[in-house]
């Protein structure tokens, strides 16, 4: 089964805690993305990566960090510096190689809640 | 900003009717894409239309693009209950990253 998986489906964070959201793809895509979606809103780009060991900040990177050590994996860490982390987080990938404007394929999302 | 803005924000129709959603944007684009999102799920790509195309079809979906008006429309014909979802347009300028609009929430009533 080809696709993008995200885990966990729900994640609870305590005050001052860092949490990591997992994103894995087996589509052999070069580019991967992390988006944040607030209720009734569109998607806002947090970070993106066009190739292994390289990533760039998106529009709302403050309080988040990522790594891209493997082509298949692009984990997102929500740090304690992110004061309003409650949101729905979506990971996506695209073929890459021709810029970032191609079709994106999305995972099922992780809902992060603050205790 | 090249962000697409969908209109209307919400649309409620009877099953079997056609649904039309619009997307407007501000700058020139390379392509425009439409995605569907069922409640609490990830987005699913529907159609990509390039700036040199005017219309594309996929099953019951028809997308038009008017670059002179900087607008696109998504038509869903013969709607079904399963079409209930939020629909987003996303625009791309050159090779730059996609920018998503706020979405149209479509409800199909039985």
Q: How far is CA B59 from CA B20, B56, B62, B75, in A?
A: 15, 10, 8, 11
Query: pLDDT averaged over chain B?
Result: 93
Query: Least CB-CB distance to A101: which of B35, B45, B98?
Result: B98
Q: Chains A, B: CB contacts under 8 A, how many?
A: 62
Reply yes or no on whether the pLDDT at B85 is more than 90: yes
Reply yes or no on whether the pLDDT at B1 is more than 60: no
Q: Does A3 contact B at CB distance below 8 Å?
A: no
Distance CA B58, CA B46 (A): 8
- Asked if residues B77 and B60 have their Cβ atoms less than 8 Å apart, the reply is yes
CB contact under 8 A, A88 and B40: yes
Reply yes or no on whether the pLDDT at A71 is more than 70: yes
> What mean pLDDT comes out for the span A37-59?
93
Q: Please state whether beta strands A110-114 and A10-13 pair in parallel, antiparallel, or not at all (unpaired).
A: parallel
Confidence (pLDDT) at B52: 94
- Asked if residues B43 and B37 have their Cβ atoms less than 8 Å apart, the reply is yes
Query: pLDDT averaged over chain A?
Result: 93
């Amino acid at each position: 089964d080809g696709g993008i998986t995200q885990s966990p489906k729900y994640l609870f964070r305590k005050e001052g805690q860092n949490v990591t959201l997992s994103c894995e793809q087996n589509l052999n895509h070069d580019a991967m993305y992390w988006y944040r979606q607030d209720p009734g809103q569109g998607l806002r780009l947090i970070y993106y990566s066009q190739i292994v060991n390289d990533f760039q900040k998106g529009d709302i990177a403050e309080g988040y960090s990522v790594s891209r050590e493997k082509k298949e994996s692009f984990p997102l860490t929500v740090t304690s510096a992110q004061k309003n982390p409650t949101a729905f987080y979506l990971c996506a990938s695209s073929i890459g190689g021709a810029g970032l404007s191609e079709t994106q394929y999305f995972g099922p999302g992780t809902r992060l809640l603050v205790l | 900003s090249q962000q697409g803005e969908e209109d209307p924000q919400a649309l409620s129709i009877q099953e079997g009717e056609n649904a039309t959603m619009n997307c407007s944007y501000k700058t020139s684009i390379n392509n425009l894409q439409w995605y569907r999102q069922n409640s609490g799920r990830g987005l699913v790509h529907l159609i990509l239309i390039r700036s040199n195309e005017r219309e594309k079809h996929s099953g019951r979906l028809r997308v038009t693009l008017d670059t002179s008006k900087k607008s696109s429309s998504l038509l869903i014909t013969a709607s079904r209950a399963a079409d209930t979802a939020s629909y987003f347009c996303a625009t791309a300028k050159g090779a730059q990253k996609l920018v998503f609009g706020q979405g149209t929430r479509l409800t199909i009533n039985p």
